[in-house]
Amino acid sequence: MIEAPEDDMRTLWQESAESVAAQVMEGLRLPVKDLLMPLLLQVASSPYLKGDSVGFWEDGHSRLWLPRFTFQRTQVVKRRIRVGIFAGIHGDEPAGILGLMDFVRMLDDQPELGREYELWIYPLCNPSGYLAGQRCSANGRDLNREFWKNSTEPEVSMLEQEILKRNFDGILSLHSGDTGGGFYGLAQDPLIAEQMVAPALQAADRILSQTEGAPSGGLGGFHAGKGVQPSRYDGILCAPPTQQPQPFEVILESPQGAPLELQRKAFVMAMREILQSYRGFIAYGADL
């Protein structure tokens, strides 16, 4: 096989990413492989990114699959920080999918960013909902209310097994909603909110206006406060209560009313800051 020069592959990726984003912004629903083509092209050119599927299932006359990618640099480190990043759990929220693909490209371009990390990337957690252009799955279920409740939804069962198997140090969930123009980051742990979420919001603020206070109903009925989410609905994507120690868990949410291109960029900036902040958070804890 003849490999394309790195510059040619970079150009090909850029053209693919912009083409996908343009079609999504026009409201088109691309086949899953076409939607994820930027990631598939990066797998072909990057020694650090691998892609496969968590599993397959039948939905009427269609066969659906749950895509999974892993990013890990080859340097030898004492311990890798294992983080799961989940997007597209609601089928009508494409900004997180696009932002996540851009972020994975950044990981290749900025060697220090992914240092010490083992990233498990799930860019489309609700493929049937995405293809139908709706929040819920094809079965009419809000998948973000189904976790750890003995759900029979195939996407939920597969993701639960992934979360159990990987024993993540951190979980990032990407959402979009009617947030009144603000970009939100939520965490249950006040220290995580202060040390990681706040810097992420400041980074996203370079793209979108940051809002500290969310009205009641901001994220599916949550009151965001200053990034601290003291309670949450049963069934959202998270680690099981039995996992010890519990991972850090952060929800990032972009305002759906903002231009999709700006939401996409804001997610990239926020995720970049989360990785940088957590590395410093770990280093600080080790010195205590």
17-43: per-residue pLDDT in tens? 999 999 999 999 999 999 999 999 999
HSE toward the beta carbon, residue 85, CA cutoff 13 A: 27
Q: Which two tokens stand for residue 58?
A: 């039948």
pLDDT score of 7: 78
Going along the chain from its start, the domains and CATH numbers come out as: 6-287 (3.40.630.10)
Lowest mean pLDDT among 135-149, 155-169, 215-229: 215-229
Q: Which of 80-89, 134-143, 145-154, 233-242 has the lowest mean pLDDT?
A: 233-242
Q: pLDDT digits over 50-101, tens only? A: 999 999 999 877 899 999 999 998 666 678 899 999 999 999 999 999 999 9
Cα dihedral 70, 104, 200, 29 in deg (nearest 10): -100
Alpha helices in 88-217 (DSSP H): 95-109, 127-132, 154-166, 190-192, 198-204
Q: For tokens 């972020």, what's the residue?
A: 103
Pair 183, 255: CB distance under 8 Å: yes
Alpha carbons 200 and 252: distance in angstroms, whole number: 9
In Å, what is the CA distance from 50 to each residue of 18, 19, 72, 106, 119?
Answer: 22, 22, 9, 15, 11
* Single-letter amino acid code for the residue at 261: E
User: So what's the pLDDT on residue 286?
Assistant: 52
Mean pLDDT of 158-177: 97
Q: Are strands 184-186 and 248-255 parallel, antiparallel or unpaired?
A: antiparallel
What tokens appear for 26 in the block? 């026009």
Task: With a cut of 50, say whether residue 211 has pLDDT above it.
Answer: no
Per-residue pLDDT band at 285 (split at 50, 70, 90): low
Which pLDDT belongs to residue 225? 38
Chain mean pLDDT for the chain:
87
Tokens of 281: 């958070």
pLDDT band with cut points at 50, 70 and 90 for residue 185: confident
pLDDT at 189: 87
Which pLDDT score is estimated for 228? 55
Residue with tokens 């601290």: 228
Q: What does the pLDDT read at residue 148?
A: 96
Whether the per-residue pLDDT at 145 is higher than 90: the answer is yes
Q: How many CB atoms lie within 10 A of CB 187?
A: 21
Dist CA 121 CA 101 (whole Å): 9
Span 180-197, average pLDDT: 84
Quote the CA–CA distance of 197 and 185 in Å, as a whole number.
Answer: 6
Q: Would the pLDDT of 244 be above 90?
A: yes
Q: Look up residue 160 and give its amino acid.
A: E
Per-residue pLDDT at 218 exceeds 70: no
Q: Please give the order of strands across the beta sheet that includes 117-122.
A: 49-59, 62-72, 117-122, 81-86, 170-177, 248-255, 184-186
Tell me if 185 sits within 8 A of 270, measured CB to CB. yes
Predicted model pTM: 0.90
